[in-house]
Amino acid sequence: MELKNTLMESLGIEVSSLEKNSIIMTMPVDHRTHQPAGFLHGGANVALAETAASVGAYLHVDPEQYNVFGIEINANHVKSKREGTVTAKATPIHVGRTTMVWEINIVDEEENLICISRCTIGVVPKKS
């Protein structure tokens, strides 16, 4: 997976585990992911969540025939964080021919829930 010159590289997102039904990624809580008041930015959580869901969806398709794109995402930010690392744990709720739905829990180092997100992925045939 190419991370160079991507949002993943900019935010410091790293892959911890890639399994078809379980994606685990980490992201630092630092100057790259802070909002102006010094807390973890909700948009950074959403970027992490959609990245994990998209990578998981990619593992469910033939990449020679299909692209996957996030088409809807929601997030509930339940706890703030100033520093350290957060971990996204993504699992599929629905894997269909044209859409997938993934649940992503983002936790801190003590497994406290920071954000819960659900992402719908579109599965789009590549044009010949």
> Active site residue: 2, 50, 64, 110, which one?
50
At 9, which helix (H) or strand (E)? helix 7-11
C-alpha distances (whole Å) from 103 to each of 13, 64, 67, 84, 127 are 18, 26, 20, 23, 29
Q: Indicate if 2 belongs to the active site.
A: no
The DSSP code sequence of 29-91 is ESTTTB-TTSSBPHHHHHHHHHHHHHHHHHTTS-TTTEEEEEEEEEEEE-S--SSEEEEEEEE
Active site residues: 50
